[in-house]
Amino acid sequence: MSDALYFNGRFTTTDERVLTVEDRGFLFGDAVYEVFKFLRRRPVFLAEHWRRLSNGLRAVDIANPWDEHSFDASMGELLQRTAFHDGIVYIEVSRGEGERAHVYPDGMTPNAIAFSRRFKFPDAAKKERGIRLVSTDDQRWKHCDVKSVNLLANVLGKKKASRAGGDEVLFIDGDVVRECGSSSFFIVKDGRVITHPLDVHILPGVTRDRVIEMAVDSVDQRVIAKRELDDADEIFITSTTQGVMPVRQIDEGRELLRGPITADLQRRLDERELLVD
């Protein structure tokens, strides 16, 4: 067995097809998802991912199929059934299955899936070289604080970035810089680490939170104006899969080298991830 799949309380592999065409996640995008990293079959920051999943389900009125204890136990068994040591786990909870209708009945039984996947995390060379961002207008829905599977705008934005030779998309709303397609966004200016405040326009990030904790005395959570990108000292993104990743260029703008604050945060995050039990 290479990967492992959890589905509504039982374990199998992703070779088995488990969802029907009447699952509301498939029909309406009526679902919330989560992704966590594991090293040596040990989850990284699992409690924080659990809280974000729980908050998202509560926000869209989907019943949570787990409590924290059963979630920990399910993810632990999933990883023990996984043949490889390092990778990611994708989790999705939909409202459930039923006749296709926009108005859902109360008390639906959710469908819960989780499966493990190999993942190639950035090596030292990429973590020094950094990535290129391509900007686009932010056309996402108005509850980006919920980790919903409604990701069409993100998908199209990332495809636009890829076609333009970029690694990630940067969403800009008028003159306001929001976040990236699947990562949080930071700039550094005069020793201050700056990132968008938590509100409905951005997703709460588990790695984002760790970075803010590590740089707490030098962090400003405020709106970033588009013009500030031109003279930022350092720019980086954060995510579960990319960690702290420097940005070397946005669109056709000037090129940046990885700065000392970014490098220090990379090192400190790597050290914290390796401390998982």
The pLDDT assigned to 259 comes to 98
Q: What is the pTM of this model?
A: 0.95
The pLDDT assigned to 275 comes to 83
Segments of the chain scoring below 70 in pLDDT? 1, 276-277
**Tens digit of pLDDT for each residue in 186-229?**
999 999 999 999 999 999 999 999 999 999 899 999 999 999 99
- Give the C-alpha separation, 24 to 27, whole Å: 5
CATH of domain 5-117: 3.30.470.10
Domain assignments of the chain as residue spans, ordered by start:
5-117, 124-273
The pLDDT assigned to 277 comes to 52
The pLDDT assigned to 113 comes to 98
Do 5-117 and 124-273 fold alike per CATH?
Answer: no
The answer for residues whose C-beta is within 8 angstroms of residue 104's C-beta and 6 or more apart is: 24, 30, 95, 98
Return the structure tokens found at 123.
């090596």
Unique residue bearing structure tokens 């969802």: 19
User: DSSP 3-state assignment of 116?
Assistant: strand
Q: How far is CA 231 from CA 56, 67, 98, 234, in A?
A: 36, 46, 53, 9
CA dihedral 81→84→88→89, nearest 10 degrees, is: -10
The amino acid sitting at 275 is: L
User: DSSP 3-state assignment of 19?
Assistant: coil
Selected catalytic residue, list 120, 147, 159, 226: 147
Asked if 116 and 82 touch (Cβ cutoff 8 Å), the reply is yes
Q: Which residues pair with 243 in a beta bridge?
A: 239
The pLDDT assigned to 274 comes to 86
Name the CATH superfamily, with its identifier, for domain 124-273.
D-amino Acid Aminotransferase, subunit A, domain 2 (3.20.10.10)
- Give the C-alpha separation, 208 to 213, whole Å: 9
158 is catalytic: no
State the pairing for strand pair 168-173/131-137.
parallel
The pLDDT assigned to 211 comes to 97
